[in-house]
Amino acid sequence: MVKIHLEHVTKLFGKVVAVDDVTLTINEKEFMVLLGPSGCGKTTTLRIIAGLEEPTEGEVYIDDEPVTYLPPKDRDIAMVFQNYALYPHMKVYDNIAFPLRLRKYPKEEIDKMVKEVAEMLRIEELLDRMPKQLSGGEQQRVALARALIRRPKAFLLDEPLSNLDAKLRVMMRAELKRLQKELGVTTVYVTHDQAEAMTMADRIAIMKDGKIQQVGSPADVFNKPVNLFVAGFIGSPPMNFIECTATEKGDQFLLDAGEFQLDVTCFKDIIKKNATSSELVLGIRPDNVMVDRERKEGLVAKATVYVIEPLGSETIIDLAIGDNIIKARTLEVVDLKMGDEVWVGFDMERLHIFDKKTEKAII
C-alpha cells in the first residue's frame, strides 16, 4: 500500500505561518491522526497532502514519488470534508458515481460498485434522494461512500465527525476505525478532539502553532508527553499542573510547592542534568492522585474538597491545595462532601516533571 511523507513542509499565508517545518511519515495502512487546537495548521497540512494547497517550502511524497506540485486529481487520494461537500445538484447515486464517471468506467461496473459500497455503508435506500434530504449522519456516509468507491491510495479525513451529534459521533468513530482496518487504507485524520484521536489512531501527531509537538502511539503521547502542551492537551480531565521549586535539604531532593513538599530524591540526577533552572512544573494525571481522610504513607499534601463531580461509573474530585485546584479521578464510591479536609498523594511512578521555562518534559 502507500506511504505518505512530508519533508520540511512550510506554508505561509501572507505573513502568517500556518505550517512550520513539518516532517512526518505516515506508514502503510496506518491510521494517523493530526490532533491540535483550531488554527494549529492541521487542516492546512491535510490540504497540502491532498494537493489543494501548495507548500511554500518542502516536499510531499506519496509512495516515494514527489507529488508536491501534482494537482489533486493525479494523486489518487480521497478526501472527506468537514461539511461533507456533497454535490447538491446530484442525487446520492450520482454523487457516489461521480469519481468513477470522471474515470470513464463502464456503466454496468459503476452501477455494481455503487451498489456494493452503498451496501457496505448501509445507504442503499438513500440512492435516489438528493443530499438536501439527508440527515447529517447520512450525508456523512454518502461522503464516505464517494471516497471509498474508487479504492484510493489514501484517505484524508478533515474532522468528519464534528458535525454529528455526540451519540452518533461515538458510534461512527468505532465504525470508521473498523472500516479502515478492514480496507487497510493509509488514512490521515484531522481532529481537535483528543478522545477521537486516542480511540482511533495508530499514531497521533500533535500540532500547535504549525509545529509538530510529538508523534507517537496513543499510549506514548498519554504516558510520555514531551512537553506541557501535549501533557495538557491529551487526557480528559486534563493533567494537573502545580508550579514548584527544586530545593535540596541534606540528602533529600525536594519539590517545594509552597503548600507541600514532595520528595523526589530518586529523580535527583535526571532533574539536575536536564533542568535549566530550579523552576519546575509538577504534572500528575487525575487518575494518579490518591485521596484519603487519614494521613497515610505517601500522602503529602493537605487539601480541601472543592467540589465533587459524579459521573456514574467514576467520580471526579476537585481539591484545593492552597491556591491550586487539582482534579482526582476515582472509580471508588466517594463519601466526601464539599469542604472536607483530606490528604492527597501522588503516584510516584506516574509523576511528570517539566521545566517551567522550556516547557519540556524532564521526567
Partner 1 sequence: MSYRRNGTKRFAILDFVPYLLLTIVIVFLLFPVYWMVITSFKRPIDTTTPTLIPFVDFQPTLRTWTDIVFGFNFYQSIRALLNSIITATVSATLCVLIGGAAGYGLSRFRFEKWKNRDIASFILAQRMMPPAVALVPLFIMMNYFRLIDTIIAIILIHTAFNLPFAIWIMKDFFDEIPVEIEEAAMVDGCTRTDAFFKIALPLAAPGLIVSWIFCLAFSWNDLMVVLAMAYNKAVTLPWMIATGHSMRALEWWTISAYGTLAIVPPMILAALIQKYIVRGLTFGAVKG
User: Residue from 12, 70, 85, 179 that binds partner 1 (CB under 8 A)?
Assistant: 85
CB under 8 A, 24+ apart: contacts of 232-237: 233/35, 233/36, 233/37, 233/194, 233/206, 234/194, 234/197, 234/198, 234/204, 234/206, 235/194, 235/285, 236/194, 236/195, 237/286, 237/316, 237/327, 237/329
For residues 115 and 254, give the distance between their C-alpha atoms in angstroms, rounded to a whole number: 67
Q: How far is the CB of 156 from partner 1 (least distance, A)?
A: 8
User: Residue from 20, 27, 63, 98 that binds partner 1 (CB under 8 A)?
Assistant: 98
- Span near partner 1 by CB under 8 A; candidates 66-74, 212-220, 269-277, 313-321: 66-74
Q: Which is nearer to partner 1, 93 or 233 (CB)?
A: 93
Please give the angle made by the CA atoms of 205, 32 and 57, to the nearest 5 degrees: 60
Q: What is the DSSP string of 50-104?
A: HTSS--SEEEEEETTEE-TTS-GGGS-EEEE-TT----TTS-HHHHHHHHHHHTT
For residues 353 and 360, give the distance between their C-alpha atoms in angstroms, rounded to a whole number: 9
User: Residue from 28, 37, 54, 89 that binds partner 1 (CB under 8 A)?
Assistant: 89
Q: How far is the CB of 102 from partner 1 (least distance, A)?
A: 4
Task: State yes or no: residue 4 binds partner 1 (CB under 8 A).
Answer: no
User: Residue from 22, 46, 48, 50 that binds partner 1 (CB under 8 A)?
Assistant: 50
Strand order of the sheet with strand 341-346?
289-292, 341-346, 299-310, 315-321, 324-330
Q: Which is nearer to partner 1, 110 or 361 (CB)?
A: 110
Secondary structure class of 30 (helix, strand, coil): coil
| Inter-helix orientation angle 136-148/166-183, to 10° | 10
Q: How far is the CB of 50 from partner 1 (least distance, A)?
A: 6
Task: State yes or no: residue 69 binds partner 1 (CB under 8 A).
Answer: no
User: Residue from 6, 18, 32, 86 that binds partner 1 (CB under 8 A)?
Assistant: 86
Task: State yes or no: residue 105 binds partner 1 (CB under 8 A).
Answer: no
Size of the site for partner 1 (CB under 8 A): 23
CB-side neighbour CA atoms (13 Å) of 11: 28
β-bridge partners, 344: 291, 301
User: Residue from 79, 113, 145, 201 that binds partner 1 (CB under 8 A)?
Assistant: 79
Q: How far is the CB of 136 from partner 1 (least distance, A)?
A: 15
User: Residue from 55, 99, 225, 235 that binds partner 1 (CB under 8 A)?
Assistant: 99
User: Which three three-digit cell numbers place residue 284?
Assistant: 500528575
Secondary structure class of 299 (helix, strand, coil): strand
Task: State yes or no: residue 198 binds partner 1 (CB under 8 A).
Answer: no
Of residues 126-165, which lie at the interface with partner 1 (CB under 8 A)? Answer: 146, 156
Q: Which is nearer to partner 1, 51 or 345 (CB)?
A: 51
Q: How far is the CB of 52 from partner 1 (least distance, A)?
A: 5
Q: How far is the CB of 168 from partner 1 (least distance, A)?
A: 21
Closest CA to 92 of 65, 68, 121, 67: 121
User: Residue from 71, 106, 250, 312 that binds partner 1 (CB under 8 A)?
Assistant: 71
Task: State yes or no: residue 316 binds partner 1 (CB under 8 A).
Answer: no
What does the binding site for partner 1 look like in residue numbers (CB under 8 A)?
50-52, 71-73, 77-79, 81-83, 85-89, 98-99, 102-103, 146, 156
